[in-house]
Amino acid sequence: MDKAHRALVDLCRHNQFDMVFVMAENFIRRETLEAMQDASPRPPVLMYHSHDNNFSSGILKPNHFFSTLNEYDLVFTTKSQNVERYKSLGQQNSFFIPSAYEPAVHHPVLEQDSRYRKSELLVTFVGTYDRSRDPILEKVGWDRLQVWGSHWQRSPHFPKHKDHIHPNPIYYFEFADVLSSSACSLGLLRAEAEDLHTQRTFEIPACGALQFSPRTDEILSFFEEDKEIVCFSSAEELKDKLDYYLRDESARRKVAEAGHRRCVDGKHAYIDRVRSMIQLAAPQLRRTHG
């Protein structure tokens, strides 16, 4: 860590940065941030962003987050409920920035470039194993389900359904290919993380798949239910809606296409989030840099 400390301070000493943007840091100490400011010819605006919930149990937390929180000029979080929590700890410049998708990665894959036929994968879920997901997926039915993600060997369903569980993460083209080839794709949330939406909220429709997601006000602020997304409040409701949309290809395609348009036209790409953060940082930049 001393080596990292010295490297960061040297960067600030020999360069004139307007902003320093720290993403999900797990090691930067308060002393390092202060030294970076002191070493800079003109102190940069310090910004921090995390998509994790630093207040929930069982979630990896940055080692020095709470001791460094107020060293940052601005703090951004994808967890809307954390804005007031940060403010209660003294960080008044806390802002909610939703998750996003990357257009260069998350887009429909043409059938001639795909490993699969269109809608060959009836129902998919891509995500890390969590016990809360077992009863939901059991209700969906393993005969029509394919799952990818880390730690799925821990699921009690793994021994019986190895043909449907791929216990490894997928990224980039493979990720987009799976979603693009899915008739229906699940955007499940983690209660442990207090998720109200996740990256999948945007990645699934960006890839052209029909998204099935738990019903939250936050998700419904991005997409219109039954027109751009399909939502559910119970495993039984999810099963019933999957049954319907798997029978009706026309209805499935209509909602999927509308969800894709809303995602792309709604400025939900990462570059749009960066623009929002820079806009929020503009007053601070004007004060410190003139």
DSSP helix/strand/coil, 12: helix
- The whole-number pLDDT of residue 54 equals 75
C-alpha 202/C-alpha 211 separation (Å) is 9
- The whole-number pLDDT of residue 25 equals 64
SS3 content of the chain, % helix, strand, coil (to 5): 45, 15, 40
Confidence tier at 66 by pLDDT (50, 70, 90): confident
- H or E element that contains 75: strand 74-77
Reported as a single tens digit per residue, the pLDDT across 213-254 is 999 999 999 999 999 999 999 999 999 999 999 999 999 999
CA distances from 113 to 45, 167, 177, 190 (A): 44, 24, 9, 33
pLDDT at 142 over 80: yes
- The whole-number pLDDT of residue 239 equals 98
Domains observed in the chain: 2-98+270-289 (no CATH), 111-265 (3.40.50.2000)
Reported as a single tens digit per residue, the pLDDT across 161-187 is 999 999 999 999 999 999 999 999 999
- The whole-number pLDDT of residue 87 equals 96
pTM for the structure as a whole = 0.93
Reported as a single tens digit per residue, the pLDDT across 1-50 is 688 889 999 999 999 999 999 986 667 889 999 999 999 988 899 999 98
Residues 263-279, mean pLDDT to the nearest whole number: 97
Residue whose C-alpha is closest to residue 6's, from 40, 32, 27: 32
Q: Are the beta carbons of 185 and 119 closer than 8 angstroms? A: no
- The whole-number pLDDT of residue 290 equals 64
Residue whose C-alpha is closest to residue 31's, from 5, 51, 53, 13: 5
